[in-house]
Structure 1
């Protein structure tokens, strides 16, 4: 695995939206009946095949609690290739907070970062047109995915599509320029805004 190109992906969103469950479903095909709140930041890895070659995905699971996020944000926004921004379809406030998460990404992440919006817990809602979420995603040029960490529906597509976006935007990510080190360094300047819709 050390010899494979590594793409670093960050999961962001409010506490209890299901970031950890999405990560466990994708990396281990498991759904925990209960989880403890993530404290700080943790990661899982999974090897996928993309464009005919194997790629190591290093996916970082962040705490949603603001007190942890304020401390970790500056360091862990940097040097990631992609971000999955997650909200809970059964918790309105988590969607209301998506705008502030987007603003933080704009301020602190690399301008080339690929971002997707992920609506979790679709198995718990009857109305599946997600018009408001899709409208928000379109207005911010974010690809939108509705998923269920519990059933697994849509989860793999999130990370596979995000990986494809990363490579399309930055082909050098497959050249070995991306270290497989577990340490995310911070040495780039934050961006103030997304350049254009084509960023995503």
Structure 2
């Protein structure tokens, strides 16, 4: 089961739902806007909140810089963000898709959106390497009865848009 919580950094959600966020958390993806230094500066608060809610170092954390298609407006340089990821023990992935602590991506630019898959594949590998995610099946018959869900991305015409904000949701 995969459950994602996205509060878009809004304080009203952060304060009212804190207990719900951290219950049974297995991984954390912390996203900041590369065009807003205030977004990057708030990362420390998110890290502290994780620590206060007993998310130990065995819970994988990945840092993601979003809106990387806006290079001319970039306020947070990749090297600065990488140092932050290193400083906060966001471990190196040994998965084939990434050897990075930090990902930069874009929900707008199709050529950059492929990094989203790498983010989740890296997390899946980290989680799997820490503990088995599936119980062993007792028979091959039970295994073959499992439901398969295929998730595909809409074509570029299927995007939802709200001014400058574009997403695949």
Q: Which runs of 4+ in 1 moved over 6 A?
A: none
| TM-score normalized by the length of structure 1 | 0.55
Gaps of 5+ in 1: 1-5, 7-56, 177-200
Q: Which residue of 2 is the match for residue 147 of structure 1?
A: 105
Is residue 174 of structure 1 aligned with residue 134 of structure 2? yes
Contact 1:78 1:109 in 2 (8 A): no
CA offsets, 1:92-149, max 9 Å, x none?
A: 1000010110110111143232110000011111579611000111111212111111
For residues 114 and 24 of structure 2, the distance between their equivalents in structure 1, rounded to whole angstroms, comes to 29
1:86 to 16, 23, 31: 31
CA distance 1:165–1:116, shift in 2 (3 Å)? same
- Distance in 1 (CA, whole Å) between partners of 2:12 and 2:82 is 29
Number of residue equivalences: 120
Q: What is the aligned partner in structure 1 of residue 145 from structure 2?
A: none
Instruction: Tell me the C-alpha RMSD between the 2 structures.
Output: 2.0
SS in 2 for 1:81: coil
Residue 159 of structure 1: aligned partner: 120
Q: CA deviation at 1:61?
A: 2.1
Q: Name the larger-Rg structure.
A: 2
Please say if residues 82 and 163 of structure 1, whose CA atoms lie closer than 8 Å, have aligned partners that are also in contact: no
